């Protein structure tokens, strides 16, 4: 059934007229990455799909684009079984495809092909834009076998390198284990030294704290004694000030008393002098009146 599908597909593809060029490539490796993305408008996944191919002994990366997911899955099944594919490149991109290292193309433009079905069958003989035809299949097959042997040798060399690398890694791990043990021992010694230093530091801190407490206690006692002396001095000063204030009050009261007595004497003296002055005035007025009467009587008789 599968061979029948391939025959029908090749028959339709090779006999249909088109403006595209056909290139046969050998698939070396496939890269496929799918990330499911959900949005309000679409549930389509994000897909990166590319195949690393060999074309005319040159390496070329074909990036497969397009949204035909069913065709892509069908093509991936053939990629897992086949190594040879026909790529339909638009005629105006012929030189671009040949010269570029990376080429983007729609996934529906890649078709699987088996060279074993082409050998000895004139109806499947292909004349392509890159120069391949039926007579070149056998040399191409030998070249591909040689490439396969080269890849196997490269794989064997890579396996040997991985083995050497693994041994070197094992030696490195053993060396690291020895170094870690040595570092652990040194760390333990360093830890002991740190603990001893910490012990000495704590003892020193304890001594310093005891000395500081003692100094603080002595300072407090000196401060209390000074405060006591200051309090006694303040009491003496307050008592002396009170005594001086009392004496000053007594002196003021005595001065006020003397002043009141002096003021009383002065008032009595002033009142006495005023009374005497009033008496003199009354006496003078009286003499003046008598004088006026005498003068008036004297004029009358004259």
**Average pLDDT of every residue of the chain:** 80
Residue 134 pLDDT grade (very low, low, confident, very high; cuts 50, 70, 90): very low
Domain presence at residue 228: no
Residue 101 is assigned to a structural domain of this protein: yes
pLDDT tens figures, 11-42: 444 444 445 678 888 888 888 888 766 555 55
117 pLDDT exceeds 70?
Answer: no
pLDDT class of 103 with cuts at 50, 70, 90: very high
pLDDT at 127: 42
Domain that holds residue 104: 2-132
| CATH code for position 103 | 2.40.50
Q: Is the pLDDT score of 173 beyond 50?
A: yes
Is 104 domain-assigned? yes
| Percentage of residues in the chain having pLDDT higher than 70 | 78
The pLDDT value recorded for residue 4 is: 45
Per-residue pLDDT reduced to its tens digit, 86-98 = 899 988 888 888 8
Q: What is the DSSP string of 46-63?
A: EEEEEEEEEETTEEEEEE
The answer to the question of residue 293 being in a domain is no
Q: What is the mean pLDDT of residues 170-198?
A: 88
pLDDT, greater one: 144 or 240: 240
Instruction: Evaluate whether residue 107 is within a structural domain.
Output: yes
Helices (H), the chain: 2-15, 69-81, 94-99, 115-118, 137-301
Span of 127-141, 146-160, 237-251 with lowest mean pLDDT: 127-141
Higher pLDDT, 113 or 116: 113
CA 213 from centroid of its chain's CA atoms: 46
Confidence of residue 204 (pLDDT cuts 50, 70, 90): very high
Overall average pLDDT of the 140-148 stretch? 65
Burial of 110 (0-12, 13-18, 19+ CB in 10 A): buried
Residue 258 lies in a domain: no
Residue 260 lies in a domain: no
The answer to whether residue 198 is domain-embedded is no
Instruction: Give me the percent of the chain exceeding a pLDDT of 90.
Output: 29
**Residue 111: closest CA among 183, 207, 211, 20:** 20
If one counts the domains in the chain, the total is: 1
């Amino acid at each position: 059934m599968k061979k029948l599908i391939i025959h029908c597909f090749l028959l339709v593809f090779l006999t249909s007229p088109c403006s595209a060029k056909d290139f046969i490539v050998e698939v070396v490796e496939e890269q496929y990455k799918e990330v499911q993305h959900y949005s309000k408008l679409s549930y389509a996944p994000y897909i990166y799909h590319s195949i690393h191919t060999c074309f005319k002994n040159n390496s070329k990366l074909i990036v497969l684009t397009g949204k035909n997911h069913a065709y892509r899955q069908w093509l991936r099944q053939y990629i897992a079984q086949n190594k040879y594919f026909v790529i339909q490149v638009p005629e105006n991109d012929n030189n671009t495809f040949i010269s570029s290292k990376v080429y983007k193309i729609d996934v529906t433009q890649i078709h699987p092909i088996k060279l074993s079905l082409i050998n000895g069958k004139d109806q499947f003989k292909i004349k392509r834009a890159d120069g391949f035809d039926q007579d070149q299949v056998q040399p191409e097959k030998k070249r591909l076998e040689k490439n396969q042997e080269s890849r196997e040798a490269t794989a064997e060399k890579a396996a040997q390198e991985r083995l050497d690398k693994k041994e070197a890694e094992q030696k490195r791990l053993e060396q690291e284990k020895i170094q870690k043990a040595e570092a652990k021992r040194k760390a333990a010694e360093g830890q002991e030294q740190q603990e001893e230093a910490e012990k000495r530091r704590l003892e020193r801190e304890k001594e310093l704290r005891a000395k500081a407490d003692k100094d603080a206690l002595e300072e407090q006692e000196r401060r209390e004694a000074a405060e006591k002396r200051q309090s006694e001095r303040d009491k003496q000063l307050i008592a002396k000030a009170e005594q001086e204030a009392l004496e000053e009050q007594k002196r003021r009261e005595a001065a006020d008393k003397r002043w009141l007595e002096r003021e009383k004497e002065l008032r009595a003296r002033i009142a006495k002098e005023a009374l005497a002055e009033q008496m003199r005035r009354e006496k003078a007025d009286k003499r003046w009146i008598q004088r006026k009467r005498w003068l008036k009587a004297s004029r009358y008789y004259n």
